[in-house]
Every structure is written in structure tokens, then in C-alpha cells.
Amino acid sequence: MGIEELITTEASASESNKDAELKSGTTVSRGHARSKTLQVRLNDEEFEALAALAATRGLPVSTLARDVLLARLAARDTSAQAMIARLRADLEALASTVA
């Protein structure tokens, strides 16, 4: 089997079962053009709290941390659209912790 045939076969198999569970060790990528890395130091309690919240939301810890940072930056925007976006995000966060 050539590489092109193998790629076609694998693509077809993955498309036919889009809801399959991810294998352990799989990295979730959102495909954004973000290229900068920020290193943040947390103590054990801070990291555990962040990890627990990320787990309840079904997100990787880094995704949750980025979302929190971006929300904080967006809070400086006082436009009606930004305020509505923050309210929606807050409601989604609340719903994920209550559900």
C-alpha cells in the first residue's frame, strides 16, 4: 500500500467515526495561528485549582489558562458587543460548573 492510499484510507476511517474517543496522549489543537509561548509559574494549589476547573469544562489546562487571560484582556473593552460576549462566556462557565 502506497502512502497516498494509506492517507486516503486513514482519512476515510477518521471521517466515518468523528465521535470516536481520543486515544491517551492525543494533543488537542485548535488550529489557530498562535506562535508565542508564555511560561507561567503556579504553586501546587493554584495549578490543582486550574486543572480541576479545566477538567470540569473538558478542556486542556493550557486552553483554560489562555481563555482566562484573553477574557481579562477583553474586559478592558467596554463596548456593548464585548460586554455581551463576556456575559455569554460567564454563563457558559457557570453552566459547566452547575451541570
pTM over 0.85: no
Residue 66 lies in a domain: yes
Residue 23 lies in a domain: no
Residue 83 lies in a domain: yes
Which domain covers residue 52, as residue numbers?
38-99
Residue 33 lies in a domain: no
Number of compact structural domains in the chain: 1
3-state secondary structure the chain: CCHHHHHHHHHHHHHHCCCCCCCCCCCCCCCCCCCCCCCCCCCHHHHHHHHHHHHHHCCCHHHHHHHHHHHHHHCCCCCHHHHHHHHHHHHHHHHHHHC
pLDDT, tens digit (0-9, with 9 covering 90-100), for 20-69: 777 777 777 666 677 788 899 999 999 999 999 889 888 889 988 988 88
